[in-house]
Amino acid sequence: MMLARLAEHLYWHGRYLERAEGLARLINVNAHLNLDLPGRIAPGWEPLVRITGNSELFEALYDDDVGERQVAKFLIADERNPGSIRSTLEFARENMRAARDLLPREVWEQMNGLYLRISEQITGNVSKRRRHESLADLILGSQQIAGMLMGTMSQDYAYDFILIGRYLERADVTTRILDVRADDLLPEQAEEVPAFESIQWMSVLKSLTGYQMYRRHVRTRVAGPDVLRFLLRDRLFPRSAIFCLKALESLLTGLPGEDDSALRATTALMRHLDSARMARLKGEPLSEFIDRIQIELGDIGQHISQTWFQSAPE
Amino acid sequence: MDLNDYKVSDFYDELVTTSGRPRAASRALWKYLKSLDAEEIAERKAACEVAALVAGITFRVYFEDTGIDRAMPFDLIPRVIPKKEWDSISEGLEQRVRALNMFIDDLYNDQKIIEDGVVPADLIAGSENFREQCRGFSPPLGIWAHICGSDLVRGGDGTVYVLEDNLRIPSGVSYMLENRQVMKRVFPELFEDSGIQPVDEYPAQLFDMLASLSPRPYVLEDNLRIPSGVSYMLENRQVMKRVFPELFEDSGIQPVDEYPAQLFDMLASLSPRPVEYPNVVVLTPGVFNSAYFEHAYLAQQMGVELVEGRDLVVDDDNNVFMRTIAGLEPVDVIYRRVDDAFIDPEVFRPDSLLGVPGLMRAWRSNKVALANAPGAGVADDKVVYAWVPEIIRYYLGEKPKLANVPTWKCSDPEDRKYVLAHIEELVIKPANESGGYGMLIGPRSTRKEQREFARLIKDDPRNYVAQPTLALSTCPTMVPGGVGARHVDLRPFILSGQQTFVTTGGLTRVAMKAGSLVVNSSQGGGSKDTWIVDTEAAGRAGGAS
């Protein structure tokens, strides 16, 4: 027996915490790219605003000033941005607070501590070095919570809903990070492209803590189609889109109810990923492909909400 | 601990006699406390504070618009009552609650007690807590107040009086349970062979009582359904142990596991004849309520769901459901901690977001049991209190076993005249306030406050009663710099279902300021563990060393 309201809180807790972690990873990958690439082909910071889907709000708040400082502030510390790390972390905490009686006490204390610590660290003007430390701290804190839950919480429905939120969001984060790369910055004909291309894909892998695993399991030099295949279709890497969807599929199968629309949407998306031809995916087509994945992930979220959170009088 | 210096007050002291020697039931405790040096005491006190803080024993204090969580001060020195005395108090409480339930049932139906001229008709006419919506209905067994918290005080001559009965949504039982947990951790050696009666069965008793209210007939089923909350409760207990390792190490504290075992035993005992398990829920106004800690605690301890109004829904056939991930799950019994006025916007306050539309229909058509029943608060009124001895005699034909504090009713012209003339000696109480709000303590009041209350009484005499200032008993209490005498009261809880159960002892509340009579937690009062000691049993075992 699980109250729909509490299930919904836990699901959103899972999503928001993963989103905060993903945002930290996204900002890190972009920072690395800007450091590694020569200025004329570096991505700058504008794509991040677009990828997180907050361009209008950003323009309203910062006019046309899209420097690193503005974007970092907007995405990390700005309370006016509901998609900033600060806001997202706060939502993660508030959703967990509402259902804290279902969780081991230490997990709640960890979440609460993480929120308080990070929001204090990112207040005011933060140097690049301190920013990087805070983002690393956030990623670690989020991993700790996941680990504590796995190690101390009974794997009941409450646990399942946290995981459902987490995996759905993680699939979304991984595809968004690919989108940073898809926003093709490299002029096709430039001579130095191949070398830099490799650097870019390495940054993407590193931001997802996936570089070592890629080397171990793919065993080829870092190249676009292989990285795409790894991050979208690898069955063993826990941040690949298909891994998240498989986890989601198994979790959804265990939930009560007749309505299997969320499960069907998940299976359909897995099929789409499996049938995509990676070698052709670059530039515009890659961007479109990722948009399509994200729309389908959104549909899965809709189905989950309708099926389990909105029981109405019959 | 230097107890030779303990200044016995001019009042009745719960632990020591006027000559400064411990009473029979507190002898072992006294000896033990004396054996501890200042450092040991400080250590135990710190351990208590940590335990209370980590356990989250907090309540919410309202100050202007901001609520803040504050730990309830917990005092190290327990209050002791001999078992023999407690047994007779307990009988008196049962008698009182039985009569009050008959009274409430009568008021909402035939009103014989008014017809027979025992109590005046304006008793209802002027009552804020009389719910017209409950007229002509009688809940199963005629029981309206399933959970009652009565406040007891001891006067100067040692007599125990009932000060008031809380029949609406009394709170505090979680503090009683937690205080005992803390004491056991901090003073484990005291509990060995001391004959102190356990208190932990309250959650199980509460569950049994609530389950017995289920309107759904028990039917045979293939599987015994165990409510999933049980696992949370056990999980929580496990977590608690992990949280307290230093306490266990420092004080040699033994694990306290009997409650889950009892609950398991109770569940297991159901299995030979499997019955459909009634769905019991605790309805809370939510996390911002001052007693939320207790709501969550009791739900966990009973292994039932803690729900808010928006989790429940009533269909057109008056069935109550909770919204779960598997759709709508029927609800049979609601232990509601939401006040009457907010419980159903269809019937009471239409702006209430805390309640459940249609809940009253469901209750009146016997589709769900509500504990306490709406309208039970009519007997919680301080004016009704004044009539309780007559009420007991009328319904039960018995002599009241527990004393009422003498009470003047301001609606009576003679009484009112007396009250107005002696306002500076009396305690003036409004009929429907609780938590110590809105009362006047004559001897501690200013002229201006007395004039203000005289005006209030004249404007609305029905709403006020007056009582003599009681010489409340005291109990030795840890205070800065040593041990001082502080005034105490006692709130036991009485459960009424098919059987009646009275908690062993109750929550002792203590005024932390010297001379203060205000024990309410909302006004800075603290609490103590309450020991009911079987002196004969303790004597046989030699008592605590």
Per the structure block, which two tokens stand in for B19? 């000559």
B/e letters for A49-74, b = 16+ CB within 10 Å, e = fewer, are bebbebeebbeeebeeebeeebbbbb
Q: Is the pLDDT of residue B354 over 70?
A: yes
Phi, psi of B276 (to 5 degrees): -65, 130
CA dihedral B26, B31, B35, B37 (to 10 degrees): 40
Tens of pLDDT, residue by residue over A119-128, are 889 887 778 8
* Cβ B198 vs Cβ B525: under 8 Å: no
Q: Say if A274 is an interface residue toward chain B (CB within 8 Å).
A: no
* Cβ B407 vs Cβ B376: under 8 Å: no
Averaged pLDDT, A74-79: 92
Q: Is the pLDDT of residue A78 over 60?
A: yes
B542 burial level (CB within 10 Å; 0-12, 13-18, 19+):
exposed
Q: Identify the closest residue of chain A to B232 by CA–CA distance.
A: A102
Q: Which residues are CB-neighbours of B353 under 8 A, at least 6 positions away?
A: B309, B310, B345
* Cβ B64 vs Cβ B6: under 8 Å: no
ipTM for the whole complex: 0.81
Q: Report chain A residues whose CB lies below 8 A from the CB of B231.
A: 154, 156
Residues 313-332 of B with CB under 8 A from A: 313, 315, 321-329
Q: Is the peptide bond before B404 cis (omega within 30 degrees of 0)?
A: no
Q: Identify the closest residue of chain A to B319 by CA–CA distance.
A: A313
User: Both ends of chain A: CA-CA distance in Å?
Assistant: 19
Q: Report chain B residues whose CB lies below 8 A from the CB of A156.
A: 228, 231
pLDDT of residue A191: 52
Q: Identify the closest residue of chain A to B235 by CA–CA distance.
A: A104
β-sheet with B464-468: strand ranges across: B408-409, B464-468, B426-430, B440-441
pLDDT of residue B159: 92
Closest in B227, B231, B322 to A154, CB measured: B231
B/e letters for B164-174, b = 16+ CB within 10 Å, e = fewer, are bbbbbbbbbbb
Helix (H, G, I), strand (E, B) or coil at A216: helix
The conformational region for residue A209 under phi > 0 = left, psi -120 to 50 = alpha, else beta, is: left
Closest in B239, B243, B307 to A3, CB measured: B307
Q: Identify the closest residue of chain A to B292 by CA–CA distance.
A: A101
Tens of pLDDT, residue by residue over B103-146, are 999 999 999 999 999 998 888 877 788 899 999 999 888 889 88
Q: Break chain A into its structural domains and give their ranges.
A: 4-309
pLDDT of residue B219: 28
Of the candidates B400, B408, B464, B405, which has an alpha carbon nearest to the alpha carbon of residue B431?
Answer: B464
Q: Say if A4 is an interface residue toward chain B (CB within 8 Å).
A: yes
Closest in B228, B235, B299 to A1, CB measured: B228
What is the overall mean pLDDT for chain A? 87
Tens of pLDDT, residue by residue over A8-64, are 999 999 999 999 999 999 888 888 888 877 777 777 888 888 888 888 899 888 887
pLDDT of residue B261: 32
Q: Identify the closest residue of chain B to A309 by CA–CA distance.
A: B325
DSSP category for residue A305: I
B307–A101 C-beta distance less than 8 A? no
- Assigned CATH for B407-469: 3.30.1490.270
Chain pair A-B, CB pairs under 8 angstroms: 75
Rounded to whole angstroms, how far apart are CA atoms A273 and B135?
Answer: 66
Q: Is the pLDDT of residue B326 over 60?
A: yes
Closest in B235, B313, B325 to A157, CB measured: B325
A101–B325 C-beta distance less than 8 A? no
Chain A: give the shortest CA distance to residue B249, in Å: 20
Q: Report chain A residues whose CB lies below 8 A from the CB of B227.
A: 1
Q: Report chain A residues whose CB lies below 8 A from the CB of B287.
A: 97-98
Phi, psi of A65 (to 5 degrees): -80, 90
Chain B: give the shortest CA distance to residue A105, in Å: 7
Residues 235-274 of B with CB under 8 A from A: 235-236, 239-240, 242-243
Tens of pLDDT, residue by residue over B402-456, are 998 889 988 889 999 999 999 999 989 887 665 556 788 888 889 999 999 999 9
A3–B313 C-beta distance less than 8 A? no
A105–B325 C-beta distance less than 8 A? no
Residues 7-36 of A with CB under 8 A from B: 7
Confidence band for B203, pLDDT divided at 50, 70 and 90: confident
Of the candidates B435, B456, B431, which has an alpha carbon nearest to the alpha carbon of residue B445?
Answer: B456
Q: Say if B69 is an interface residue toward chain A (CB within 8 Å).
A: no
Q: Break chain B into its structural domains and give their ranges.
A: 1-96+138-197+399-405+476-545, 407-469
Q: Say if A105 is an interface residue toward chain B (CB within 8 Å).
A: yes
pLDDT of residue B429: 87
* Cβ A114 vs Cβ A89: under 8 Å: yes
A105–B311 C-beta distance less than 8 A? no
Chain B: give the shortest CA distance to residue A131, in Å: 33
Q: For an interface test with A, give the residue of B324, B331, B359 to mutate (most A CBs within 10 A).
A: B324
Q: Report chain B residues whose CB lies below 8 A from the CB of A312.
A: 313
Q: Report chain B residues whose CB lies below 8 A from the CB of A4.
A: 311, 323-325
Q: Say if A218 is an interface residue toward chain B (CB within 8 Å).
A: no
Q: Identify the closest residue of chain A to B300 by CA–CA distance.
A: A101
B235–A104 C-beta distance less than 8 A? yes
B308–A1 C-beta distance less than 8 A? no
What is the overall mean pLDDT for chain B? 76
Counting runs of H as helices and runs of E as strands, what totals does chain A give? 14, 0
Rounded to whole angstroms, how far apart are CA atoms B492 and B475?
Answer: 17
Closest in B239, B313, B325 to A7, CB measured: B325
Averaged pLDDT, B346-362: 89
Q: For an interface test with A, give the residue of B237, B288, B325 to mutate (most A CBs within 10 A).
A: B325
A153–B325 C-beta distance less than 8 A? no
Averaged pLDDT, B6-25: 87
* Cβ B251 vs Cβ B188: under 8 Å: yes
Q: Is the pLDDT of residue B47 over 80?
A: no
Q: What long-range pairs does B164-167 form, CB within 8 A, spacing at least 24? A: B164/B380, B164/B382, B164/B385, B165/B96, B165/B97, B165/B100, B165/B379, B165/B380, B165/B385, B165/B388, B166/B380, B166/B434, B166/B491, B167/B100, B167/B104, B167/B372, B167/B376, B167/B377, B167/B379, B167/B380
A313–B313 C-beta distance less than 8 A? yes
Q: Report chain B residues whose CB lies below 8 A from the CB of A308.
A: 325
pLDDT of residue B52: 58
Residues 213-232 of B with CB under 8 A from A: 227-229, 231-232
Which helix (H) or strand (E) element contains residue B44?
helix B38-54
A1–B326 C-beta distance less than 8 A? yes
Among the listed ranges B14-23, B147-156, B172-181, B524-533, which one has the minimum average pLDDT value? B172-181
Count CA atoms closer than 13 A to B499's CA, side-chain side: 7
Rounded to whole angstroms, how far apart are CA atoms A30 and B296?
Answer: 45
A156–B228 C-beta distance less than 8 A? yes
Q: Say if A97 is an interface residue toward chain B (CB within 8 Å).
A: yes
Q: Is the pLDDT of residue B89 over 90?
A: yes
* Cβ B108 vs Cβ B134: under 8 Å: yes
Closest in B232, B305, B315 to A313, CB measured: B315
B324–A311 C-beta distance less than 8 A? yes
A39 burial level (CB within 10 Å; 0-12, 13-18, 19+):
exposed
Q: Report chain A residues whose CB lies below 8 A from the CB of B325.
A: 2-4, 7, 157, 161, 255-257, 308-309, 311
Q: Is the pLDDT of residue B4 over 70?
A: yes
